Amino acid sequence: MIVRIAAVQYLLRQIHDWSGFENQVRFIMKAAGDYKPQFVLLPEIFTTQLLSFMDTTDVRDAVRNMNDYTKRYKDLMQELAAQWNVHLIGGSHPTLTEDGRLLNTAYYFTPTGEIHEQDKIHRTRWEREKWNTDAGDQLRLFDTPFGKIAILICYDIEFPELARMVCEAGADILFVPSCTDDRQGFLRVRYCCHARAIENQVFVVMTSTVGNLAVEGLGLHYGQACIITPSDFAFARDGIAAEGTANIEQIVVADVDLADLESNRLSGTTIPLYDKRKDVYEHPVEIIKVK
């Protein structure tokens, strides 16, 4: 099955009200939708663009006040997923739960109106110390008409165990919405996307925020969208089906063939998804004292 994917490098530009955000999102969704993809990916916490017109004197309060826009955000994304007939991974959005926890939640909108969620499981130091967020604790695999997908938000892709869990459950595509301030942060996520694609013989789609806002923690972004493949003969030579130009507003589009994954997992040059020695992993590490 051929699946077309669009990954959006979303530019965080100054806006003055909700309409500014909505207009920008509608524009980029039209630009992506015109290519008729099955999936569209937006970056992690791209909705922090709303902070550009909110009171950010206390950044912890400001991030929590973003929850006031959660319904508008979900309604807009649900409408656009239906309008363009796409499976929309709508980046992520800071969301307050009924019991007062603040989660970094990725929302997945289907063309038929369904809304699914995947919370970020590992928090960065900034999220813990500056925003005082809470961690999610449940991984989900979504069985779609275009393959099985999972969402690992930014830092979560740096933990191989999470990707292995969803891939052993059958994932074909990992979506990685990301937000990083500097190049080394971006590269940590990017290199881990390549590693997870190789380790699990899976497609990995990553995208990032670009631009800057006059808000604490949002003054710098380094980002580049990419659609990554396993590294073998059936795929792109460098394991990159497509990538954008760093740090500009752009949409990256590529077709991937799920049949290539199936054959690669059975007869690839290496088959790391199946070659894992689970018996060895059950043994504790033997520590030997050397004089």
- pLDDT tens column, 87-99: 999 999 999 998 9
As beta bridge partners, residue 104 has 94
What does the alpha-carbon distance between residue 189 and residue 177 come to, in Å, rounded to a whole number?
Answer: 10
Cα angle 143, 178, 247; round to 5:
130
Task: Map tokens 């649900």 to a residue.
Answer: 78
pLDDT, tens digit, for every residue of 200-251?
A: 999 999 999 999 988 887 888 999 999 999 999 999 889 999 999 999 999 9
Task: Map tokens 């979504």 to a residue.
Answer: 142
Closest by CA to 91, choosing from 176, 172, 187, is: 176
160 φ/ψ angles, rounded to the nearest 5 degrees:
-55, -30
Tokens of residue 6, six digits: 């669009």
Instruction: Please provide the DSSP assignment of 238-259 as one string.
Output: TSEEEE--TTS-EEEEEEEEHH
144 φ/ψ angles, rounded to the nearest 5 degrees:
-105, 170
Within 10 angstroms of residue 262's Cβ, the number of other Cβ atoms is: 13
Q: State residue 91's pLDDT score.
A: 96
Q: State residue 254's pLDDT score.
A: 98
Burial class from Cβ neighbours inside 10 Å (0-12, 13-18, 19+) for residue 26 reads middle
What does the alpha-carbon distance between residue 106 and residue 16 come to, in Å, rounded to a whole number?
Answer: 25
Sign of CA dihedral 198, 152, 284, 290: positive
Sites in the chain below the pLDDT cut of 70: none
What does the alpha-carbon distance between residue 15 and residue 12 come to, in Å, rounded to a whole number?
Answer: 9
Within 10 angstroms of residue 245's Cβ, the number of other Cβ atoms is: 12
C-alpha distance from residue 3 to each of 22, 40, 86 (Å): 27, 11, 11
What does the alpha-carbon distance between residue 149 and residue 203 come to, in Å, rounded to a whole number?
Answer: 10
What does the alpha-carbon distance between residue 193 and residue 96 come to, in Å, rounded to a whole number?
Answer: 29
What does the alpha-carbon distance between residue 247 and residue 107 come to, in Å, rounded to a whole number?
Answer: 24
Active site residues: 44, 120, 154
What does the alpha-carbon distance between residue 157 and residue 31 come to, in Å, rounded to a whole number?
Answer: 28
Q: State residue 282's pLDDT score.
A: 87
- Based on its alpha-carbon atoms, the radius of gyration of the chain, rounded to whole angstroms, reads 19
3-state secondary structure of 60: helix
